[in-house]
Amino acid sequence: RPRALSGIQPTSGSFHLGNYLGAIRQYVALQETHDSFYMVVDLHAITVPQDPKDLRANTRLSVAQLLAAGLDPERCTLFVQSHVPEHAQLGWVMNCLTGFGEASRMTQFKDKSAKQGANNATVGLFTYPILQVADILLYQADSVPVGEDQRQHIELTRDLAERFNQRYGRTFTVPAPHIVKEVAKIYDLQDPTAKMSKSAATPKGLINLLDEAKVSEKKIKSAVTDTEAEIRFDPEHKPGVSNLLTIYSTLTGESIAALEQKYTGQGYGALKTDLAGVVVDFVTPFRRRTQEFLDDPETLDSILAKGAEKARAVAAETLAQAYDRLGLLPAK
Ligand code: TYM
C-alpha cells in the first residue's frame, strides 16, 4: 500500500472547520487506501511561545479530536511528534541541506513572523518548514494530505528529497501533496477572501469544532455575503456565498449544483439557517466523542504509546540509512 503522512499543530485547543474540511477529512479517507501516519506536531507548536500546561493539554485534546473525527488506531498510526526523536535528528540533516535563500522564500514564515513582531520571531519559526520536510521524509510518504497553505512546504520537501537522493544515492521517496481542490482553502466567514485561521483579526469568522453549538450557529448566521440575493457558486464574484456552499456541500454530500437548485428563489437567510443546522448536527456528536476520549486517559495514552512505537520503527530505519549515506560514523 502507498504511504500517507500528515501533521497538525496542537496550538489552539480546538481545531476549526478549515482544518477539518481541508485536511482531517482526507486523513480519515486515506486510512482505507494508504498505510497512514498522522501526528500532532508539538515540536512545531513551540516555534512560538507556549504555556507548558496549555501545550500538554492541547496536545491531548488534539489527539482526542482526531480520534473523534474518525482516525482509527487499528487502521492508522497516530502519534505525537516529540515521542519520535528522529524528527529532530533528520530535521538537523535537512537544515544542512537547505539554502538560506531557499528557506527565506517560505511565505508562511513571512506571515507568521510579521504576526510575532519583527524582532520576536525565532530561528525555530524560520526553519520550521525544514522540520516538516523531515516529518514527511522519515516515513517515505507517497502522499501528504494538506490544505493549500502547505503546498509550498511540500514543494520544499520534494526539492530536498531529490537533492539528497542525487548527492548521496536514492534514500527518500519524493512525496506528492494530496490537496482536494474544492476544500483546499476554506475562507473566513467575516472576510471570505482570507483563509479561515485561528490567527484571524476577529474570532467571528472562525468556526471552532469545540465551540458551543449556539456560538457556531450565530457565526454562520452573521457570515458576510454580498448585496445580491442569488444563491450561486461563483468564488470570484461571490466568495462569501460560495464558501458557505462549499461547507454545506462537503458536510452533507449534496452537490453544489443540487444546493443551487434547492435554494433557487430563496434568500441568504434560508441558506444560513439550514447551514447552521448542518454544522450543529456535525459538531454536536463530534464534541461528545472528543470528550469521551478525553475522559479515558489510559486508552488515549496506550493509543499514543503504540503509535509512537510503530512510528519509531519506520523513522529509525530511514534515519539510520540517511546517516550512513552521509558518512556519519556508526556507533559500535
Ligand atoms: P496546521 O496545523 O496549521 O493545519 C493543519 C491542516 O489544516 C489545513 N488548513 C486548512 N485547510 C483548508 N482551509 C483552511 N482555512 C485551512 N487552515 C488550515 C492545513 O493546510 C493543514 O493541512 N505545517 C503544518 C503541520 C505539519 C505537517 C507536517 C503537515 C507539520 N509537519 C508534515 C503535513 C506533513 C501546519 O502548521 O498545519
Cα angle for residues 320, 322, 323 (degrees, 5° grid): 65
Distances from the Cα of 205 to the Cαs of 125, 167, 193, 250, in angstroms?
A: 26, 47, 11, 18
Pick from 296, 298, 311, 293: which is nearest to 65 by CA? Answer: 293
Mutation to probe ligand 1, out of 8, 34, 148, 243 (largest number of atoms < 8 A from CB): 8
Catalytic residue among 53, 110, 185, 195: 195
pLDDT of residue 148: 97
pLDDT digits (tens, 9 = 90+) for 246-289: 999 999 999 999 999 999 999 999 999 999 999 999 999 999 99
Any ligand 1 atom below 6 A from CB of 308: no
Any ligand 1 atom below 6 A from CB of 19: yes
Q: What is the pTM of this model?
A: 0.97
pLDDT of residue 262: 96
pLDDT digits (tens, 9 = 90+) for 28-56: 999 999 999 999 999 999 999 999 999 99
ipTM over 0.85? The verdict is yes
Mutation to probe ligand 1, out of 149, 183, 198 (largest number of atoms < 8 A from CB): 149
- Write out the binding residues: 9-11, 18-19, 135, 147-149, 186, 195-199
Q: How far is CA 279 from the centre of its chain?
A: 20
Q: Measured between alpha carbons, how far is 294 from 153 in angstroms, rounded to an integer?
A: 32
- Write out the binding residues for L-tryptophan: 135
Q: Which residue ranges of the chain lie beneath pLDDT 50?
A: none
Any ligand 1 atom below 6 A from CB of 175: no
CB contact set of 245 (below 8 Å; sequence gap of 6+):
231, 233, 256, 259, 260, 271
How far away, in angstroms, is 22 Cα from ligand 1 center?
Answer: 8
Q: How far is CA 282 from the centre of its chain?
A: 19
Any ligand 1 atom below 6 A from CB of 23: yes
Residue holding cell 531557499? 102
Residue 96: other Cβ atoms inside 10 A: 9
